[in-house]
A = this chain, B = another copy of it.
Amino acid sequence: MKDLTKRQHEVVLFIQDYLAHHGYPPTIREIGGNFGISVKAAFDHVKALQRKGILKTGESRSRAIEIIHDAFLPKKEGTSVPVLGNVAAGMPLFAEENFDGTLTIPNERLKRGSRYYALQVKGDSMIHAGILDGDFAVIRYHQEAENGDIIVARVGDEAVTLKRFYRENNRIRLQAENPEFPPIYTQDIQVLGILQMIIREYV
């Protein structure tokens, strides 16, 4: 982003502060009042900040200042996703019994409208992709995968597994990231989601 001038920075800080205290943004006049400057001066600052991509204002809408630049956005809360057992133990998944607490995810990164869940990884089959035993895998529920995606899939009737997905001529290859685990070739799979995030905790 273009750099802000001192004054412009002060204005953003005021807007943030006002927002935090009131739950809604200030008017142009309130901004001006705060700095003891004219309406026009305040208006100019807001427009400048808008040009620089910090704010967005509704055209002719009152009190419609929206901070859009990440660095000035208020800290957002997280979204809770259910932890549904683990991959490897396989089995029910999505069954109620299989509920294992929740995990809060920074929701800046999550797409609205998608369903997410988490699984705890068991085993070393993805170790070369930096996915270790015990890691939490945050999965976006989705039925289709593209080559190279790391996905959660049900293979046949039993196992639920986390592998890299490749569609080949007339079969699907599920590739582990560990030479000790041979690829699985199959047609009978159901994609249960795509890996979005890995969260690992150290003691």
CB within 8 Å of B: which residues of A? 19, 22-25, 27, 61-67, 70-71, 74-78, 80, 99, 101-109, 127, 130-132, 135, 150, 194-202
**B202 x A150 contact (CB < 8 A):** yes
Q: Interface centre among A80, A109, A150, A200, by most B CB within 10 Å?
A: A200
Measured CB to CB, the closest approach of chain B to A82, in angstroms, equals 10
**B106 x A77 contact (CB < 8 A):** no
10 further A-B pairs in the complex, CB-CB below 8 A; given A75-B76, A75-B102, A77-B80: A19-B23, A27-B62, A62-B63, A71-B99, A77-B78, A104-B106, A105-B106, A130-B130, A130-B132, A198-B199
Q: How many copies does the complex hold?
A: 2
Q: Within the complex, which residue of B24, B130, B198, B202 is in contact with A195, where a contact is CB–CB below 8 Å?
A: B202
Measured CB to CB, the closest approach of chain B to A189, in angstroms, equals 20
Q: Interface centre among A27, A106, A127, by most B CB within 10 Å?
A: A106
**B71 x A22 contact (CB < 8 A):** no
Bound Cα distance from A62 to B60, whole angstroms: 12
Measured CB to CB, the closest approach of chain B to A18, in angstroms, equals 11
Q: Within the complex, which residue of B22, B77, B78 is in contact with A64, where a contact is CB–CB below 8 Å?
A: B22
Q: Please, could you name 13 A-B residue pairs with CB atoms under 8 Å apart, sorted by A?
A: A23-B25, A23-B66, A24-B25, A62-B62, A74-B77, A77-B104, A78-B78, A103-B106, A109-B201, A130-B200, A195-B202, A198-B198, A199-B200
A70: chain B residues at CB < 8 Å are 101
A195: chain B residues at CB < 8 Å are 202
Bound Cα distance from A12 to B151, whole angstroms: 36
Measured CB to CB, the closest approach of chain B to A199, in angstroms, equals 6
A127: chain B residues at CB < 8 Å are 130
A27: chain B residues at CB < 8 Å are 62
